[in-house]
Structure 1
Amino acid sequence: MTVTASSGSPRVSPQLYDTLPLSSVRQAEQQDRFPDGGELDTLITFFRSGNDRLDAARLLASNAESIVARAANRIFVGGTPLSFLEEPLSTGELSSKDVTPLAADQVAFQDSVRTFTGTESSRNKGNFLTRLLQGNDDGDVRIVLPTGFTAISVAKYGPGNMRKSVRDLGWFLRYVGYALVAGDPSILAVNTRGLRDLLEKGCSLLATNVALQEMRAASAALLRDRPEARRLTIECFDVLLKELAVPSPSTRQKLGSSVRQGLQLPAIYALAAETAQRFEMRSGLSGAEKAEIVRAAYRQVFERDIAKGYSQTPCEVEASQLVQGKLSMREFIRALGKSKEYRTQFYGRFVNSRVVELAYRHFLGRGISSLEEFRKAFSIVSDQGLNGLVDVLINGAEYAQTFGEETVPYLRDLGEEAQESAGWGSNRRLFRFSAPFESAPQYVTLYAAYRQPLGDQHVYGGGNDPIGNQYGAIFPSATASVSTRPAPFGYDTRRLLVSNGLTQPGQMDSPQFRSSRPRRLGPKIVRLQQIATGGNAIPRRAGQPSIRETESSTQAVIKAVYVQVLGNTGYATERVESAENRLENGDINLREFIRLVARSSPFRRRYWEGLYIAKAIEVMHRRLLGRPTFGRWEIDALFDTAARQGFYGVVDALINGPEFSECFGDDTVPYERFITPKDLTSRRAPTWKEQLNLEAQIEFNLRARPELKSGNSFKTPGDITPRNLQAQSSSSIDNWIKSEPLRKTDSREESIALTQAGSTTTSAKQPTWAGKVSFKGSASPEVPGARLSRALDSQNAAGFASKIGISSWIELKPPFTEDELKYAVEETYRQLINFIPFDDQRLTSAESKLRNLDINLAEFIEAVAMSDAFQQKLSRIAPLRVAPAASLALLGKTATPSEVAEFLKTRAEEGQRQAIKNMMKRRNPEDCNRLLQVKLSSFSGRKPFSNLKKMRGEQILAPTQLTTGPQLEALVLPSKENLASQSDSNTSRSIRNLTFTSSILGTQKYGLANALQTQDASGFTRRGGISSSIQLKAPFSEEELQIAIAETYRQLLNRIPLDTERLITAESQLRNKEVDLSGFVKSVALSEAFQNRLSSMSPLRAAAAAGLALLGRASTPAEVSEFLITRARDGQPQATLDLLNKRKQEEADDVPQINGMTTSAGQDQATVIRTSMLYRGNAGLNPPTDSPL
């Protein structure tokens, strides 16, 4: 078979039978009108009788065995026909549990006898007078034995024929039930027409006739109480009897020619199809009917009813002559094709190729059959124009044979005549309603591609190749782009794949191909390094070797698996946490973990559900094996697996295959090994290529190379980047070529330069070109911190640029000018919604009130805060960030934790606008005419850093409360003088009870203030542990109690819980001195919030997090082992209690803190080192990522 292009094979699933609703509205749909009264009455009757017809169908289905048994017992003798039934026919009968089980043949014999006897008794029950009066009821279903009928012997007929005959009788009854539900017996005609010849050859047609009459009588007897259902059932059986009496119809022939293929269509396909309505102009029709036929001609030629939709009536004179009988329909169609409207809509807007395609649809009702036919029509329209093409099509023999003189042309689609395989997809697109809006020709490109070899694409169509990214299964449209058309690839055809950095991949699907590894510049390989534990012999656990790996490496491997298999790192609800824990504990290998991720619901939802099987196989192949499929033989094998075993079978076939074992094994994450040429082209970044001038003459004369002035200093690419350090108008390129240095020499640089050999001597040689290269010069090392020191010591106005801000507040007091009002309004917009709105978005009414002094500036700010722009801005922010953002915008300061909790509570109960109103109420009365802003110094322009650092250092404020959370570092706490000046007795007693180390209470400053005010450039120091502790000893104040409770929550839960989550009982007991601080810590540790945090982690991570939170240090290996054993045996709360019991007695009244950062008596150095490695802020928020062992 020649490998060439294809027009595409879109799935076409026409309905193979008719229903009453479809047949009722089909004519109205074809005539482009609303249903009339009779059609609506038919629909109403159909839907009203729906329950009756469904009940009748269920009744026939539940009594199917009795009906079939009655018919079989009438035409077969010498056995029990129902015993040959392979599957039960009844769907409504329920077998009793108390009945003794019998063999299959015994059950069949019992049912046959019971059914036959019961049926006869039900027919003949009553006295003679009753049977005489009821005799007329069965007159329409009286059984008439045909001449020559004889019963069939079961022994002579054979078991095989008996099984087929009983099965066919059940099928006939099932189709009658379908027809009852559909309300139309067309499904019976479609499926039984043509069976006469088959029954005469393999069975007895007379016996089939008698069996159907018996089934009709039995069904009518069951439906005696439902007259309408009984009538429709009898009609269905009559259709079966009539169709079996009709000989098999002949096929529909499609005449061929020298350029067209002759085909034939089976009659049952034509009967099942939805045929187009024929409109034929006759002299005896009424005026309304003739007007409808004229409109049908408009719909065919112009593809829509232009007289109804656009009030256009082309060719009015010809239409009048047609109605009067002076003009034939054939000539009227010719006049429409040559009209001005047709020329405007279907000729002037398109190229000649598309004009030919549309003309075949409008005048012949089909597409183009061959390239020769297209060439002939194209030459005609090029030479003679539109009129010549219309004359050729209408004067042809095909038009005369198909439509004649008086029939309106119609679309010859499925069921009208046999369709050609060539141009199948183009025909489907040409018959769409959107064909007039597609200007690109379909057939000429298709027939041109027939004579060209295929490009490298997917064997079942380029639309099955996903776009080469890692984020999901995105496929190009198979119909919008010509390049995505399918192609008749051979079974042995293989695709051309591009190696993604592999070393000598060799022949495809060879051992060398599967074992090839990437080069240094190829894809990164991620492996899971597993270390066996134990001594000489590897200990066993559950039949598997005991292994362990570092937690950080395992998490990196797990992330790589999610990125490769799912396309991203996986959301919280998509991660397979149980499989992750098993992988971390060594219970499964990496290969099994990949299998579990591939079998998960997120993978199935992305790459299986909603995708065609060929597309799903292609994208799963890329995800799990790292390459596209080779060809049809590989796809067909997986297609068969999908049909037999489903989604999980395809996943197992890919992972259990030899290619996965040889390429990745049990410890390697799959990576992209091969890509398609299309992927390679799309991944190449576009670049500029100089046009090649072949006519230009090459000059071979030597010319001097241009020299650039350069200094002796060492230059790097970073020196030409604007650093905002010098306020010079010259460009950085000018600075690059200047001979003198752009900065002053540091004294430490001079001392280092004196130690350089030959640094004080100069060369006496003549300068050469090599010596003038800008990168040639002394590469002496620079003093550490010299650049930062120069920036800090700079006194000019070229230091670091300060962010241009606004003053701490803007005040608008009456009387004010228009400029002041405009400035205040614009700054309000900038602070709240980050931009000045357009005129149609501004709050003109609020601005007018502010201008007329009806409201003050605070009320205008509240109006802007209540606007949709500000509300939508807050709605897009995370809940915990909304309150600080609103407080900064409205109050000019950040919100405290209590204010955040109050804001979130009000927002949840009363809405966001009410929370904003409550926040505005916290403004001071003197700020009614002020726009409060973030109180940071700002400058208009540039300021030296030496001046800026002093102002910034003075603005670093001390915290309002003594916060000792583990996440804080380098705090600047109040001095001793400030602490001593406080007069409140409760606060003084609180400070006396709060124990701080001397280093915090000293006058030394830390953090950013220290870095800004120091004269050296040593920078920040390494973060240390928390050196302060909080104790709660009686007597204590309410403030001390709240500090201790808050810090306990922060240490264990990393947050202050909401009011509904707080341990109210434990806090009351602590306040009433019924328990001490250690008892409150125990209650928080055993709370549901802390236990859920530990349960969401892997076992080793839970042990590490619990140790850091409760003991303030890393757990020893013995403590970790004890925690895990107790957790598995007695539960996690008991393991938590055991950790609390390990706290020292002198720490009972202390809030837990990280105290394992420094060496103390009885604590080994390994624990200190391990604590420093595990410490990542609060243990509850950021659990340690390293293993505690």
Structure 2
Amino acid sequence: MTVTASSGSPRVSPQLYDTLPLSSVRQAEQQDRFPDGGELDTLITFFRSGNDRLEAARLLASNAESIVARAANRIFVGGTPLSFLEEPLSTGEVSAKDATPLAADQVAFQDSVRTFTGTESSGSKGNFLSRLLQGNDDGDVRIVLPTGFTAISVAKYGPGNMRKSVRDLGWFLRYVGYALVAGDPSILAVNTRGLRDLLEKGCSLLATNVALQEMRAASAALLGDRPEARRLTIECFDVLLKELAVPTPSTRQKLGSSVRQGLQLPAIYALASETAQRFEMRSGLSGAEKAEIVRAAYRQVFERDIAKGYSQTPCEVEASQLVQGKLSMREFIRALGKSKEYRTQFYGRFVNSRVVELAYRHFLGRGISSLEEFRKAFSIVSNQGLNGLVDVLINGAEYAQTFGEETVPYLRDLGEEAQESAGWGSNRRLFRFSAPFESAPQYITLYAAYRQPLGDQHVYGGGNDPIGNQYGAIFPSATASVSTRPAPFGYDTRRLLVSNGLTQPGQMDSPQFRSSRPRRLGPKIVRLQQIATGGNSIPRRAGQPSIRGTESSTQAVIKAVYVQVLGNTGYATKRVESAENRLENGDINLREFIRLVARSSPFRRRYWEGLYITKAIEVMHRRLLGRPTFGRWEIDALFDTAARQGFYGLVDALINSPEFSECFGDDTVPYERFITPKDLTSRRAPTWKEQLNLEAQIEFNLRTRPELKSGNSFKTPGDITPRNLQSKANSSIENWVRSEPLRKSDSRESSIALTKPGSTTDNQKQPTWAAKVSFKGSASPEVPGARLSRALDSQAGAGFASKIGITSWVELKPPFTEDELKYAVEETYRQLLNFIPFEGERLTSAESKLRNLDINLSEFIEAVAMSDTFQQRLSRIAPLRVAPAASLALLGRTAIPSEVAEFLKTRAEEGQRQAITNLMKRRNPSDCNRLLQVKLSSFSGRTPFSSLKKMRGEQILAPTQLTTGSQLEALVFPSSTESSRSKFNSKRSQPTSKQTFVVPIQEGQKSGLVNALQTKDASGFSRRAGISPSIQLKAPFTEDELQIAITETYRQLLNRIPLDNERLDTAESQLRNMDVDLSGFVQSIAMSEAFQNRLFSMSPLRAAAAAGLALLGRASTPAEVSEFLITRARDGQQQATLYFLNKRKQEEANDVPQIKGMTTSSGQDQATIIRTSMLYRGNAGLNPPMDSPL
């Protein structure tokens, strides 16, 4: 049994023989035309002679024993061969009075059959030699004895071999009758090819040849008055004789490879298949025949005759060259695959996965055989486009070996070659006529389903039922979309059932399983309490139980029966009142009452008449026995009972079963004992579940309840009294709760002391603070000098520059290098088309002219703007947005209202291309070698202060005050050298800054930092650390430090701690033995399947962002995202991951990757901090915008 999905097994039963009607219309069907006159005449003749052929077959069947006896008497001596016949050969033999009169020699056959060793009839006198040498007057059926033939002795041959030989002769004659009815002897060739070796080993091939000649002569004599039937019969026996003379052909081999298994196809299957018609272009063919071959190529590549159906003739020039012999069929197929019509029909409308599947059907005539083959083709179509995929398929060795240079590709269906069982259902769907209209990929979804376990469903597949019971076959529905597949469960497979509150149910279908009772929280058991009254009151019921005096409890039991069996309390018109009265009077027990309710018409209408058998069995099983069925074997047994005994027999079988007796007995109402896992899932109410944090610690922080201040103002009944509201005045202070009181001291000294390393002792703990409500503002102390920076003029040299929205450009002036040319061309494509096109889509002519200085950059931009790709892009935009989009792409700015009006007017009157031309004329002549661009502020943010200082040099204002030594010592933030190891401790550490800030302080003047630290809410608090400090692993290290580093690395890259079987044991051992450093261990995890699958499950842009956040600790820049996507498409995802790994700094080789992009540091702009905070969903002291960073 398999637990993953299969490709499905559609019922494909190809006819293993040919008939005259099929062979007559097959060629017309393959050529997509109506039958011609000759084919119709053949069909007319076949149907007109149908009665004669049927009568001839009936005559052969009626006289089968006589014909076989004549052949057996010819090759066997010393006994009666027909006495070894186990069953009569004459199926459908007529009675004596209705029998067809036999020929004169047939009368002699009857006597010779039964009395071969006794006296012979007068018509058949002579010894064995005379019978052996007797001839026949008909020349076409004259018996020719082969050289070396000798008769076989019955005694030496043995009874077992005699029975087999006589049976085989009867089979030969029976297949001749089949061939007569079919009008074609192919059924004989299929079933006789390969018997030569078998007959030579177990019998005599010469004797079989003589026996068939004798049967041919006897059948021809029998059909002497039917010339056409006689001719067909002789042809059939000739085919038998010819096939027995041919040795067993070798099997057809299909070579394997490293990703595909080798297969072989027996010759008889190839012979019996419906072979596809071959079309081969040759120089000696007529013009009509060559035109038909060209149409066959159209039918193969486009799946229909587009020349006849749609009057389309793609590649007319190549077709003319093909007819003239200047072009091979292989190159013509290549031209069709690269044509505009093929690109429109089979490339532009589908995703790349479906494009690969259809291309294999069109150019190789088969489906995809393996996942590796699909990955290779998908990579080609993603990197090189459709033209690259067509070239790879046609240039391959498989195409050359199968079709060669002049043969039109054909579908390699059943019988053409051996077929893989994997992907069987997808191959069947790909060969359908409706394949071009199915846009969903078949193979990649199938390969994905191979790796996923099956859903919890019924053993006979999914259904359309809206409730938890999935009952079996999938029926088409106009309102329900069924996506489940039939599960490949075996016959002996048992379903998994969940106990519904039972006490130790034990093994399935065991005595403990059947006698288990529910616990207190399980289903309620309802029993009928019966009282024994003896025989004094009612003599006829002496000793039987009575229920007198318990009428209320009896009605409760009856209601419970209706709820369990019918599903409701029982309406007045659906209650079985007579059975209720008999139960109350004690005439029947509760078990019989349940039987009568189950046999009632309401139960039958609800659970039998409106359902198919499998579903009805499942529902009745749940209602009467309280559990689902175990599997197919139980369903099949009940299905057989329903087929033989009907509805009432099925009800009796369930109630009379031993399981009902042991579980419920005669006094218990059935209850639900077991359910399926899907039932359990669907019955659970959807609730919010908080994620379990195993590292959390309980903190008991006592807090006094805030008292509302009572005002002295006059209150009236119309006033609103606020309740359960926090005081607005104390909201910023009350949001922070202290774990223990602080010592009363100078606020300035205590606050600054807490920032110094080593300022606390072992006996004194630092007070910790925890936020009880969400805080969206900046919770960290103000940076020294921040107010001064904000106070500076934004336009001054010492301040910050304004937002960057100034127009920029890419300039390309001759002479230029190849790199400069490539950069300008790619930027032009990216600005106008929003992507870099494939090689087959690039404007190679315009690029060559630009490279040769025949045109300038402005003319190249105009050539790209006039291309179909840019025009189609504008055509898909709303009219009012076309002019701004075109102006932004070509002029680097948005269009003014007058330009928009002129653009729309020109577009409506003269077309869109003329409007683009007029827009290009608005460019300044000085911009002929420039690509005008607009840099958005969302990507560059504000210019860093360090960059402005470097650009403007001496313009930055010098500080007016110098800092004294005592002031400097008092206001220095500690470095992170001491706190870098604090992560290895179990306690949470205070986040520290890695920079040192110095602020000048005058006498009597306090800085912004000191003012912030003097407030009540800032006296020693630290904002809740959302990001852990850095972790370093340098040799020598302890095992605890190693485990912490490994755990944090897994959590950073995989977002979870992997299971034991998912851990990289080899990489961990190398790190423990110091064979690799921590950066090598990070690279091993990044290259692992778990991390790669995590990236594969995301969209490309999300994958780039996730990889940058995990490996670099920050959001990726647009340039890094672009490089990641290009490397991923060209070299694969692992090489793209290496690109991010190489960007890690050398000094971080022993650091665990962590989120670093949410703190301001040198070389890191504000846009990166905002995007990192949006990805991490942290606050980071910012208020990031809500739109996506990508």
Give the alignment's TM-score, normalised by structure 2: 0.50
2-side partners of 1:1066 and 1:693: how far apart?
A: 28
Asked whether the 8 Å contact 1:381–1:388 carries over to 2, the reply is yes
Tell me: CA distance 1:955–1:1152, structure 2 relative to 1, closer, same or farther (3 Å). farther
Equivalent residue number for residue 209 of structure 1: 209
Equivalent residue number for residue 764 of structure 2: 764
Asked whether the 8 Å contact 1:583–1:590 carries over to 2, the reply is yes
Q: CA deviation at 1:218?
A: 2.3
Deviates more, 1:153-162 or 1:468-477: 468-477
Tell me: CA distance 1:822–1:532, structure 2 relative to 1, closer, same or farther (3 Å). farther
C-alpha distance after superposition, 1:668-705 (max 9, x if no partner):
67665433333444566778999999999999999999
1-side partners of 2:477 and 2:768: how far apart?
A: 63
Give the secondary-structure state (helix, strand or coil) at the position aligned to 2:752. Answer: helix
Give the secondary-structure state (helix, strand or coil) at the position aligned to 2:136. Answer: helix
Tell me: CA distance 1:476–1:210, structure 2 relative to 1, closer, same or farther (3 Å). same
Tell me: CA distance 1:1068–1:911, structure 2 relative to 1, closer, same or farther (3 Å). farther
2-side partners of 1:599 and 1:572: how far apart?
A: 17
Asked whether the 8 Å contact 1:972–1:1005 carries over to 2, the reply is no
Deviates more, 1:843-852 or 1:406-415: 843-852
Equivalent residue number for residue 279 of structure 1: 279
Asked whether the 8 Å contact 2:564–2:671 carries over to 1, the reply is yes
Tell me: CA distance 1:280–1:141, structure 2 relative to 1, closer, same or farther (3 Å). same
Q: CA deviation at 1:84?
A: 2.1
1-side partners of 2:1139 and 2:820: how far apart?
A: 68
Give the secondary-structure state (helix, strand or coil) at the position aligned to 1:409. Answer: coil
Equivalent residue number for residue 1162 of structure 1: 1163
Deviates more, 1:685-694 or 1:1060-1069: 1060-1069
Tell me: CA distance 1:431–1:81, structure 2 relative to 1, closer, same or farther (3 Å). same
Deviates more, 1:562-571 or 1:894-903: 894-903
C-alpha distance after superposition, 1:751-772 (max 9, x if no partner):
9999999999999999999999
Q: CA deviation at 1:74?
A: 2.3
Asked whether the 8 Å contact 2:751–2:1019 carries over to 1, the reply is no
Deviates more, 1:697-706 or 1:53-62: 697-706
2-side partners of 1:1120 and 1:585: how far apart?
A: 84
Give the secondary-structure state (helix, strand or coil) at the position aligned to 1:808. Answer: strand
Deviates more, 1:655-664 or 1:475-484: 475-484
Give the secondary-structure state (helix, strand or coil) at the position aligned to 1:264. Answer: strand
Give the secondary-structure state (helix, strand or coil) at the position aligned to 1:969. Answer: helix
Deviates more, 1:611-620 or 1:963-972: 963-972
2-side partners of 1:635 and 1:786: how far apart?
A: 79
Tell me: CA distance 1:97–1:387, structure 2 relative to 1, closer, same or farther (3 Å). closer
Q: CA deviation at 1:439?
A: 2.2
Asked whether the 8 Å contact 1:966–1:1178 carries over to 2, the reply is no
Q: CA deviation at 1:122?
A: 11
Tell me: CA distance 1:463–1:272, structure 2 relative to 1, closer, same or farther (3 Å). farther
Give the secondary-structure state (helix, strand or coil) at the position aligned to 1:552. Answer: helix
2-side partners of 1:985 and 1:931: how far apart?
A: 58
Asked whether the 8 Å contact 2:628–2:676 carries over to 1, the reply is yes
Tell me: CA distance 1:73–1:387, structure 2 relative to 1, closer, same or farther (3 Å). same
Identity rate of aligned residues, in percent? 92
Tell me: CA distance 1:848–1:7, structure 2 relative to 1, closer, same or farther (3 Å). closer
Q: CA deviation at 1:1019?
A: 77
Tell me: CA distance 1:491–1:1132, structure 2 relative to 1, closer, same or farther (3 Å). closer
C-alpha distance after superposition, 1:392-423 (max 9, x if no partner):
11110011111111111122121111111111
Deviates more, 1:798-807 or 1:770-779: 798-807
1-side partners of 2:1129 and 2:537: how far apart?
A: 27
2-side partners of 1:509 and 1:294: how far apart?
A: 68
2-side partners of 1:885 and 1:45: how far apart?
A: 72
Deviates more, 1:789-798 or 1:683-692: 789-798
Deviates more, 1:241-250 or 1:488-497: 488-497
1-side partners of 2:407 and 2:586: how far apart?
A: 79
Deviates more, 1:590-599 or 1:87-96: 590-599
Asked whether the 8 Å contact 1:462–1:478 carries over to 2, the reply is no
Asked whether the 8 Å contact 2:971–2:998 carries over to 1, the reply is no
C-alpha distance after superposition, 1:560-591 (max 9, x if no partner):
99998999999999999999999999999988
Q: CA deviation at 1:373?
A: 0.9
Task: Give unmatched runs, 5+ long, in structure 2.
Answer: none
Asked whether the 8 Å contact 1:260–1:369 carries over to 2, the reply is yes
Deviates more, 1:604-613 or 1:13-22: 604-613
C-alpha distance after superposition, 1:475-516 (max 9, x if no partner):
689999896345666888654333445555444334333334
Deviates more, 1:591-600 or 1:1174-1183: 1174-1183
Q: CA deviation at 1:262?
A: 0.7
Tell me: CA distance 1:411–1:896, structure 2 relative to 1, closer, same or farther (3 Å). closer
Q: CA deviation at 1:380?
A: 0.7
Give the secondary-structure state (helix, strand or coil) at the position aligned to 2:939. Answer: coil
Asked whether the 8 Å contact 1:66–1:115 carries over to 2, the reply is no
Q: CA deviation at 1:621?
A: 6.0
2-side partners of 1:995 and 1:739: how far apart?
A: 29
Q: CA deviation at 1:49?
A: 1.9
1-side partners of 2:912 and 2:832: how far apart?
A: 15
Equivalent residue number for residue 1057 of structure 1: 1058
1-side partners of 2:48 and 2:1164: how far apart?
A: 87
Give the secondary-structure state (helix, strand or coil) at the position aligned to 1:990. Answer: coil
Equivalent residue number for residue 739 of structure 2: 739
Deviates more, 1:761-770 or 1:173-182: 761-770
Deviates more, 1:135-144 or 1:443-452: 135-144
Q: CA deviation at 1:1137?
A: 104
Q: CA deviation at 1:1009?
A: 90
C-alpha distance after superposition, 1:427-447 (max 9, x if no partner):
222222222222222222222
Q: CA deviation at 1:4?
A: 3.6
C-alpha distance after superposition, 1:613-644 (max 9, x if no partner):
99898778667655445457767988999999
2-side partners of 1:427 and 1:978: how far apart?
A: 63
Tell me: CA distance 1:42–1:934, structure 2 relative to 1, closer, same or farther (3 Å). same
Asked whether the 8 Å contact 2:990–2:1025 carries over to 1, the reply is no
Q: CA deviation at 1:9?
A: 1.9
2-side partners of 1:848 and 1:1036: how far apart?
A: 61
Asked whether the 8 Å contact 2:254–2:418 carries over to 1, the reply is yes
C-alpha distance after superposition, 1:906-931 (max 9, x if no partner):
99999999999999999999999999
Q: CA deviation at 1:263?
A: 0.0
Equivalent positions of 1:979-994 (< 5 A) are: none
Corresponding residue pairs, total: 1189
2-side partners of 1:536 and 1:1177: how far apart?
A: 87
Asked whether the 8 Å contact 1:315–1:335 carries over to 2, the reply is yes
Asked whether the 8 Å contact 1:785–1:1018 carries over to 2, the reply is no
Deviates more, 1:343-352 or 1:1011-1020: 1011-1020
Deviates more, 1:722-731 or 1:208-217: 722-731
Tell me: CA distance 1:146–1:630, structure 2 relative to 1, closer, same or farther (3 Å). same
C-alpha distance after superposition, 1:458-479 (max 9, x if no partner):
5665569996459997668999
Asked whether the 8 Å contact 1:892–1:934 carries over to 2, the reply is yes
Equivalent residue number for residue 409 of structure 1: 409
Asked whether the 8 Å contact 1:330–1:405 carries over to 2, the reply is yes
Asked whether the 8 Å contact 1:468–1:679 carries over to 2, the reply is yes
Q: CA deviation at 1:113?
A: 3.6
Q: CA deviation at 1:387?
A: 0.7
Asked whether the 8 Å contact 1:1101–1:1184 carries over to 2, the reply is no
Tell me: CA distance 1:215–1:7, structure 2 relative to 1, closer, same or farther (3 Å). same
Give the secondary-structure state (helix, strand or coil) at the position aligned to 2:810. Answer: strand
C-alpha distance after superposition, 1:845-864 (max 9, x if no partner):
99999999999999999999
2-side partners of 1:558 and 1:1102: how far apart?
A: 63
Deviates more, 1:1017-1026 or 1:973-982: 973-982
Deviates more, 1:2-11 or 1:1082-1091: 1082-1091
Q: CA deviation at 1:663?
A: 3.5
Instruction: Quote the RMSD (CA, aligned, Å).
Output: 33.0
Asked whether the 8 Å contact 2:16–2:273 carries over to 1, the reply is yes
Q: CA deviation at 1:65?
A: 2.1
Q: CA deviation at 1:1163?
A: 107
Asked whether the 8 Å contact 1:713–1:778 carries over to 2, the reply is no
Equivalent residue number for residue 1072 of structure 1: 1073
2-side partners of 1:867 and 1:954: how far apart?
A: 51
Tell me: CA distance 1:270–1:367, structure 2 relative to 1, closer, same or farther (3 Å). same
2-side partners of 1:400 and 1:712: how far apart?
A: 101
Task: Give unmatched runs, 5+ long, in structure 1.
Answer: none
Tell me: CA distance 1:268–1:1072, structure 2 relative to 1, closer, same or farther (3 Å). closer
Asked whether the 8 Å contact 1:973–1:1001 carries over to 2, the reply is no
Tell me: CA distance 1:700–1:609, structure 2 relative to 1, closer, same or farther (3 Å). same
Equivalent residue number for residue 882 of structure 1: 882
Tell me: CA distance 1:782–1:1105, structure 2 relative to 1, closer, same or farther (3 Å). closer
Deviates more, 1:1074-1083 or 1:693-702: 1074-1083
C-alpha distance after superposition, 1:125-162 (max 9, x if no partner):
99999999999873322222222222222222222222
